[in-house]
Amino acid sequence: MTAQITDTVLYREQTFSLTGVKGTGLFIPGQHGLKPVAQSTACWRGFFCGYRVTEEGLFLERLHVGVHPDDTPSVRDGQGAPLFGNAPRYDPTHDECAVYEPHRARVPFTGSLLIGTDFIRELAVHMGFAPAWKFREVHELTFEEGHLTSARDHSKAMAHTRDQRLGRPLSPGLSASPQEIEAWIESTFQQDYE
Cα gap 138→161, rounded to integer Å: 12
Question: What does the pLDDT look like over 35-85, one tens digit per residue?
Answer: 898 878 888 899 999 999 999 999 999 999 988 777 666 666 666 778 888
Least confident of 10-19, 88-97, 173-182: 88-97
Mean pLDDT computed over 25-37: 91
Cβ neighbours, 10 Å, residue 108: 15
Instruction: List, in sequence order, the alpha helices (H) in the chain.
Output: 72-76, 155-165, 178-188
Question: What does the pLDDT look like over 116-167, one tens digit per residue?
Answer: 999 999 888 888 889 999 999 999 999 999 999 999 999 999 999 998 887 7
Question: Strand, coil or helix: what is 96?
Answer: coil
> What's the predicted TM-score (pTM) here?
0.87
Cα gap 5→125, rounded to integer Å: 13
CA 95 to chain centre: 19
Statement: residue 182 has pLDDT above 60: yes
Question: Strand, coil or helix: what is 193?
Answer: coil
- The tally of CA atoms less than 13 A away on the side-chain side of residue 97 is 20
Handedness of CA 182, 123, 157, 168 (dihedral sign): positive
Least confident of 8-12, 42-46, 119-123, 172-176: 172-176
Taking the CA atoms of residue 55, residue 60, residue 62 and residue 64 in that order, the dihedral angle to the nearest 10 degrees is 150
Cα gap 108→165, rounded to integer Å: 35
Choose the most confident range, by mean pLDDT, from 14-23, 27-36, 166-175. Answer: 14-23
For residues 189 and 38, the answer to whether their CB atoms sit within 8 Å is no
Cα gap 95→27, rounded to integer Å: 22
